[in-house]
Amino acid sequence: MRILIADDEPVSLRMLQKTLRRAGYEVTAVRDGRAAIEELCCSDGPRLALLDWMMPEFDGPAVCREVRRRRGERHVHLVLLTSRSSKQDVVIGLESGADDYLIKPFDPDELKARLHTGLRILQLEDNLVEVREAMLYKATHDALTSLLNRGTIVELLAHELSRTRREDGCTIAVLGDLDHFKLVNDTHGHLVGDEVLREVARRLLSSVRSYDFVGRYGGEEFLLVLNNCDAKKSLKRAEEIRTAVCGSPIVTSQGPLVIAASIGAIASRGRIPETVEDFLCEVDRALYTAKSAGRNCCRIAGAEV
């Protein structure tokens, strides 16, 4: 575990370094508060720190306040070292953002015990962050395909349409539906159907840019939000996506399956409806037009193709 020690007294600094290295810590040592702040506020900076109260540039409490302000949610466990022992000083140190307070001269074993407590706190925080991120992922992604779920992709589309209005840009929405997908489930079983959906999701993701969005809109329907696009290339992009999905058979546990898809698309340039629901209704009509035209093709909303 990396630890930062900040002390402008050379002898004290060397003693701390020796003690901590023997305890297995990777030590970064600085001699003033400004250097401590810069080290601790780096994205990959130490998350455990021993700070002397009295230092040049910034004192220990000032370092605590600045680290708390700049690091945000990413917690750094800060321990103040000082010869000040009054309750008022303890309160000032803790209210500045310090997690612990150790009075000089301190026992090395007590120091190591307090640092172990800090490590447990950091581990607990990391566990909570992992749980929170996992819950957020589950709330925004489809469990089968790992694509964005319907609520999230629609929300992102609404956000992009709003941005398009402000910046006079163009967003293309692409709604695709796998043709006769029920036959796959009825003939080969739902597990094979799931294999197909997962592979379609993978192909869709590989067919767009890193800043585009792909979501599962319904059972076998997928919605793509393409940002900063040329409206004149809507049909070309839709056809590229259809080809990416249907251009080769999908290998499943029951053998390769040929999949077809109908696609509707709409560009926001010059035709941004009042609501995202109206926008989706238009692209849905384009998809229905593709189905009526014989399936396995693309149609653009409002276009006579």
Q: pLDDT tens digit string along 42-79?
A: 888 899 999 999 998 899 999 999 999 887 677 899 99
What CATH number belongs to 150-300?
Answer: 3.30.70.270
CA dist 99 and 6 (Å) reads: 16
Q: Which stretch of DSSP H or E encloses residue 61?
A: helix 60-71
CB count in 10 Å sphere of residue 223: 25
CB count in 10 Å sphere of residue 79: 23
Query: Is residue 256 exposed (0-12), middle (13-18) or buried (19+ Cβ within 10 Å)?
Result: exposed
Residue 106 C-alpha from the chain's centroid: 42
CB count in 10 Å sphere of residue 184: 23
DSSP 249: P
pTM to 2 decimal places: 0.73
Does CATH place domain 2-139 in 3.30.70.3400? no
Closest CA to 33 of 12, 52, 13: 52
Q: Assign 273 a pLDDT band (cuts: 50, 70, 90).
A: low
Q: Which of 57, 220, 221, 304 is catalytic?
A: 220
Query: Is residue 131 exposed (0-12), middle (13-18) or buried (19+ Cβ within 10 Å)?
Result: exposed
pLDDT at 171 over 60: yes
Q: Which stretch of DSSP H or E encloses residue 121?
A: helix 108-140
Q: Assign 218 a pLDDT band (cuts: 50, 70, 90).
A: very high
Q: Which residue has the tokens 């546990």?
A: 253
- Give the pLDDT score at 272: 63
Which whole number is the average pLDDT over 119-133? 91
Average pLDDT, rounded, for the chain: 91
- Give the pLDDT score at 165: 85
pLDDT in tens, 12-24: 888 888 889 988 9
Q: Assign 246 a pLDDT band (cuts: 50, 70, 90).
A: very high
- Give the pLDDT score at 89: 81
For residue 220, indicate whether it is catalytic: yes
pLDDT in tens, 181-204: 999 999 999 999 999 999 999 999
Indicate the residue type of 293.
A
What b/e string do you get for 85-101 counting C-beta neighbours within 10 Å, with b at 16 or more?
Answer: eeeebbebbeebbbbbb
What percent of the chain has a predicted confidence (pLDDT) above 90? 68
| Domain spans, the chain | 2-139, 150-300
Closest CA to 6 of 79, 112, 65, 115: 79
- Give the pLDDT score at 305: 40
Q: Assign 304 a pLDDT band (cuts: 50, 70, 90).
A: very low
Closest CA to 97 of 62, 52, 131, 47: 62
What percent of the chain has a predicted confidence (pLDDT) above 70? 97
Helix (H, G, I), strand (E, B) or coil at 104: coil
